[in-house]
Amino acid sequence: MNGKGRRVVVTGLGAVCATGANVDEFWANGIAATCGTQTRTIRANDGTQITTPVAQVDGFAERAASLGRDIGRADAFSKFAAAAADEAVADSGIDFDNGLGGRTATIIGTGIGGQSSLEDGYINMLSLDKRPHPLTILRLIPNAAASHLSIRFGLRGPAFAISSACASGAHSIGVAADLIRAGTSDAAIAGASEAIITKGALQAWKAMHILSDELCRPFSKNRKGLIIGEGAGILVLEEYEHARARGAKIYAEIVGFGMNSDGKDMINPAVEGAADAMRMALGGVQVPSAENIYINAHGTGTLMNDPTETKAIRSVFGADADDLVVSSTKAMHGHLLGAAGGVESIMAIKAIQSDIVPPTINYDVPDPECDLDIVPNEARNRRVDLAISNSFAFGGLNAVVAFGRV
């Protein structure tokens, strides 16, 4: 939350998803308007399959094999988290020795956890009459990624998972920042990971009738729904004076965090809840001119979300909403569900660092109900002093992280 306390900055970034094996590739493809969606046939271990558009990570097997024995035996969501965390820690140059490891939190969100391990285990038992793998429980529990990372880096501070559907990543980053701000921790590895491109999970999502059968088109009138993605986005957070004392590269400051619940409906988002979460994130923040504000929208490309989010943004910013820029990068990297807030926070931070706003791709038909400047189809050069990452989840859960230039 906002208020008095220590300043929290971002000093390391790590990502893996359909549009990038690392942050540099992810960002380059983001400003190049690269679409990571492809129609794939996903097979279960009983031979059944489903064919549908997804944003799947390619070529990860060799990298996963290099992560080490413990991670090698883990579920894919823990492997994605480890790969992204390795990059973030190396990027930050942080040293967890000399007592810092005991003061570093590890908070890794996930919407589902070890989906492939869960699915494989049940198919083995119920369809193939086989015993489940002896590590099935350790693979599928939602805290597996957080625990693996705390062990991997020798971190003895608070370590846990936050599982709040599509708000998991933003909740994890915001809560980690609050721990540092309050003095409970001095640093944190925070973000989220998701790996649910499995036959069973995709069938379940199809049953909701909110998946697109071709592309994700956020804010476009002809939008048909979301595209499921996978991967991880991890940040290294530090108390500002600690980062400055060691000469760390500082990407941005976490200047605000807001979280709440609509308290109304499991599926239908509420304008008031989303707007109030944004107001909470901006409370106490010195808000710059609207021309220097970028919002990385939740922007799922579903019929209900996009106009609701538009109304929420207009409720918060009033007439200034016409002057700020908004984009949904889910059209490129897919909807990473719990991990969305992790990778999208990196997009927001990189926008501040580079003064380039990533686009909303696949946009082709204006919608009067989504009448913001959504940076259609091409990245835009523009100074960004404040970047807001919105994450809104099933169950009416809202989490908003605000990043500022240092």
pLDDT, tens digit (0-9, with 9 covering 90-100), for 115-144? 999 999 999 999 999 999 999 999 999 999
* DSSP classification of residue 323: T
pLDDT, tens only, 369-391: 999 999 999 999 999 999 999 99
Q: Domain spanning 257-404: which CATH class is it, in words?
A: alpha beta
**Short-list 85, 228, 221, 60, CA closest to 147:** 85
Say what the pLDDT of residue 284 is: 87
CATH topology of domain 8-245: Peroxisomal Thiolase; Chain A, domain 1 (3.40.47)
Question: Which positions are annotated as active-site residues?
Answer: 166, 298, 335
C-alpha distances out from residue 158 to 102, 164, 179, 186, 321, Å: 9, 18, 9, 11, 39
pLDDT, tens only, 230-243: 999 999 999 999 99
CB 231 within 8 A of CB 339: yes
Say what the pLDDT of residue 7 is: 98
pLDDT, tens only, 106-118: 999 999 999 999 9
**Short-list 273, 342, 282, CA closest to 311:** 273
pLDDT beyond 60 at 84: yes
Say what the pLDDT of residue 406 is: 95
Same fold, 8-245 and 257-404: yes
pLDDT beyond 70 at 1: no
Sign of CA dihedral 256, 296, 291, 243: positive
In the chain, domain spans:
8-245, 257-404
pLDDT, tens only, 203-233: 999 999 999 999 999 999 999 999 999 999 9
Question: Whole-prediction pTM value?
Answer: 0.97
Say what the pLDDT of residue 5 is: 87
pLDDT, tens only, 22-68: 999 999 999 999 999 999 999 999 999 999 999 999 999 999 999 99
Between CA 143 and CA 163 the distance in angstroms is: 9
3-state secondary structure (DSSP) of residue 179: helix
Between CA 53 and CA 301 the distance in angstroms is: 14
Say what the pLDDT of residue 4 is: 65
